[in-house]
Amino acid sequence: MAAAVKTSGGFCNTQQQWLHSTRDLFLHGSTHSNAKECKSKKAKKPTSLRVKATSTKVELDFNDPSWKQNFQEDWDNRFNLPRITDIYDLKPRPTTFSLKKQRTPTGDEDSTPMDMWNGYVNNDDRALMKVIKYSSPTSAGAECIDPDCSWVEQWVHRAGPRKDIYYEPNEVKAAIVTCGGLCPGLNDVIRQVVFTLETYGVKNIVGIPFGFRGFFEKGLKEMPLSRNLVENINLAGGSFLGVSRGGAKTSEIVDSIQARRIDMLFVLGGNGTHAGANAIHDECRKRKLKVSVVAVPKTIDNDIPLMDKTFGFDTAVEEAQRAINSAYIEARSAYHGIGLVKLMGRSSGFIAMHASLSSGQVDVCLIPEVSFALDGEYGVLQHLEQLIKNKGFCVVCVAEAAGQELLQNSGATDASGNTILSDIGVHMQQKIKTHFKGIGVHADIKYIDPTYMVRACRANASDAILCTVLGQNAVHGAFAGFSGITSCICNTHYVYLPVTQVITAPKRVNHKGRMWHRCLTSTGQPDFR
């Protein structure tokens, strides 16, 4: 019987490094860990780990030949999709979502007979979540489960239309709600959900106004939706239905779902919304309601784990890049110009990192995942001084959650309970001004905060396509009888994940990963510690 390893804090050794990796894999589906760096030099492989998964407690003993099987069984259990047939004994019916062309055959010899055309997804179809086989834990970005970094298949359920469905389309009432902050692409998803529902034959489609509030706030009326009504909503940013934060009272929301006789609920939102969707799904199950709750992950922050990206992220990066370009032009044109851009990202620096990379105009990129000092020999200010001296101008991109430890925090939260961050952009602007004044060097600082411009725009082409697929798949998932799932993209494939698996913790930039190092190579910045 191998010894179990303590799973939380307190010590730092090689075992702990493994522990963090494996624990992260279980908790976040990724070994991209936020683990503190361990200083211990001597590598000593642990033989056993006690790992607490989100739904099961699994003990992996790597000396046990069946550890891989145990891991996979736990994985399959956790990624199994909840279905309404788990609580109801329902008979499926053939789908009404036709992949056949609705035309009379032309007699074209080359045309495939429709009944042989494989257009439906089988419930046993799976996609691999991880495709790289790392030969060693020291390989760049290695995500290992055991000390030898063995190959372990991690399958997830493929998304798409099924041959059998569990709802009578003409009896269905479907509702759509958009929650949290704005995000490019919300309207594209609403539109595709409506189109696809109508293709199945659903006639009763409504929009819930202003997020979860629309379920219980007096005076807010549901909006009937149809193809005609939503046809052009993708041409504008924002949400056609409106969004809101806070006010999520699960039991009241489910009372309202019951009273309105909603059968399918499509919930578009970020990590908070997904937690809300999960609570609604659980409550519906408790009340034995035949309701499918299907989420679609939105957030410009790209901070939802397990998926390649959330819709809106690409567009936000593109827009952020425009702000960087303006900062660059201002800085380049001024005598000793310093352009400073603050970008969103509540707890992760994805927008800042990607916009810095894509613009190619950033000299210093600061993200919350990597701590830095402003003052001192190795601080950011000293580096800016060098840049001004050597090339005459510079551009700094800072993520809103970066360097929070350098600031005073009021501890205040927004209506959803998210911490209100202190303004690192304004703080840096002041610090840079004071620093250059102090050393008697002229500096012309131009500060740009494009915050709401970045997320209020309409989706770009790649996001519009992502929204189309995710929105359509959300509807297919509901008709297939799944509930408590989210429609997303993993490893370039479209899949469904149980919501429980994506609300464990926000995804963050892997500061030891290749992408961050590419960013450092691009900016040429040193360590600021």
Ligand X SMILES: O=P(O)(O)OC[C@H]1O[C@](O)(COP(=O)(O)O)[C@@H](O)[C@@H]1O
Helix H or strand E segment including 223: strand 223-224
Q: Are the C-beta atoms of residues 504 and 28 closer than 8 Å to each other? A: yes
Two structure tokens written together for 436: 């250059």
Own/partner long-range contacts of 386-389 (Cβ < 8 Å, ≥24 apart): 387/363, 388/336, 388/338, 388/436, 388/441, 388/443
The answer to whether residue 86 forms part of the interface with ligand X (CB under 6 A) is: no
Closest to ligand X by CB, 299 or 486: 299
Is 346 marked as binding a ligand? Answer: yes
CB of 285 to ligand ADP, least distance (A): 15
Q: In the bound complex, what is the minimum distance in angstroms from residue 134's beta carbon to ligand ADP? A: 32
User: Is 272 known as a binding-site position?
Assistant: yes
32 binds, among Mg ion, ligand X, ligand ADP, none (CB under 5 to 8 A by kind): none
Rounded least distance, CB 197 to ligand ADP, Å: 23
Question: Of these, 149, 174, 225, 279, which contacts ligand ADP (CB under 6 A)?
Answer: 279
Per CB under 5 A, 484 contacts Mg ion: no
299 is in an annotated binding site: yes
* CB atoms near residue 323 (< 10 Å): 22
Residue 344 vs residues 380, 413, 422, 442, 452: alpha-carbon distances, Å: 20, 17, 12, 29, 9
Residue with tokens 């191998």, as numbered in its chain: 2
Q: Which of 24, 188, 301, 314 is catalytic?
A: 301
Of the candidates 456, 489, 181, the one whose C-alpha atom is nearest the C-alpha of residue 311 is 489
- Cβ–Cβ under 8 Å, residues 95 and 162: yes
Residue written as token pair 């205040």: 412
When asked if residue 46 is in the footprint of ligand ADP (CB under 6 A), the reply is no
Q: Is 160 annotated as a binding-site member?
A: no
Which region, judged by CB under 5 A, interacts with Mg ion, from 109-117, 262-270, 373-381, 462-470? 262-270
Regarding 484 and contact with ligand ADP (CB under 6 A), the answer is no
- Which stretch, 190-198, 199-207, 227-235, 264-272, contacts Mg ion (CB under 5 A)? 264-272
Structure-block tokens of residue 48: 């056993």
Lookup result for tokens 């992408």: 515
Residue whose structure tokens are 């490094």: 17
Least distance (Å) from ligand ADP to the CB of residue 275?
A: 3
Cβ at position 252, least distance to ligand ADP in Å: 12
Give the shortest CB-411-to-ligand X separation in angstroms: 16
Range 186-225, binding ligand X (CB under 6 A): none
Contact track, ligand X, 317-346, x by CB under 6 A: ---------------------------xxx
Distance of alpha carbon 350 from alpha carbon 511, whole angstroms: 11
312 is known to lie in a ligand binding site: no
Which amino acid, one-letter code, is at 232?
A: N
**One residue of 82, 180, 349, 450 binding ligand X per CB under 6 A:** 180
Partners of residue 69 on adjacent β-strands: none
The CA distances from residue 155 to 296, 424, 504, 509, in Å, are 20, 41, 19, 23
Residues written for the chain? 529
Which is nearer to ligand ADP, 186 or 428 (by Cβ)? 186
Q: Work out whether 299 is an interface residue with ligand X (CB under 6 A).
A: yes
300 binds ligand X (CB under 6 A): yes
Helix axes 380-391, 424-438, angle to 10 degrees: 60
Query: Which residues from 53-82 bind ligand X, rule CB under 6 A?
Result: none
418-457 positions binding ligand ADP, by CB under 6 A:
418
Selection from ligand ADP, Mg ion, ligand X, none that 300 binds (CB < 5 to 8 A by kind) is ligand X
Contact (CB, 8 A) for 28 and 507: yes
271 is in an annotated binding site: yes
Nearer of residues 72 and 418 to ligand ADP, judged by Cβ: 418
| Residue recorded with tokens 């009944």 | 115
As given in the structure block, the two tokens for residue 180 are 């949290």
Residue 477 in the binding site for ligand ADP (CB under 6 A): no
The single residue among 414, 430, 434, 441 that binds ligand X, judged by CB under 6 A, is 414
Task: Tell me the closest approach of the beta carbon of residue 354 to ligand X, in angstroms.
Answer: 14
C-alpha angle 207/211/214, rounded to 5°? 65
Helix segments in 268-396, DSSP class H? 271-286, 313-333, 350-359, 380-391
- When binding is defined by CB under 5 A, the residue of 137, 270, 276, 498 that contacts Mg ion is 270
Q: What share of the chain is helix, strand, coil (3-state, %, to 5)?
A: 35, 15, 50
427 binds ligand X (CB under 6 A): no
Please, which of residues 229-268 interact with ligand ADP by CB under 6 A?
245-248
Four-CA torsion 112, 118, 119, 120, nearest 10 degrees:
150
Task: Assess whether 164 carries a catalytic annotation.
Answer: no
Q: Of ligand X, ligand ADP, Mg ion, none, which one does residue 275 interact with (CB within 5 to 8 Å by kind)?
A: ligand ADP
Residue 16 is classified by DSSP as H
Cα 306 from Cα 221, distance rounded (Å): 35
**In angstroms, what is the minimal distance from the CB of 477 to ligand ADP?**
19
Q: Does 506 bind ligand ADP (CB under 6 A)?
A: no
State yes or no: residue 271 binds Mg ion (CB under 5 A).
yes
* Residue 230 Ramachandran class (φ > 0 left, ψ -120 to 50 alpha, else beta): alpha
344 annotated as ligand-binding = yes
DSSP state of 210: S
- Choose the one of Mg ion, ligand X, ligand ADP, none that binds residue 344, judging by a C-beta under 5 to 8 angstroms depending on kind: ligand X
Per CB under 5 A, residues contacting Mg ion are: 270-272
Where do contacts with ligand X occur on this chain (CB under 6 A)? 180-181, 270, 299-301, 344-346, 400, 414, 455
Annotated catalytic residues are 301
Write out the binding residues for ATP: 181, 245-246, 270-273
Write out the binding residues for Mg(2+). Answer: 271
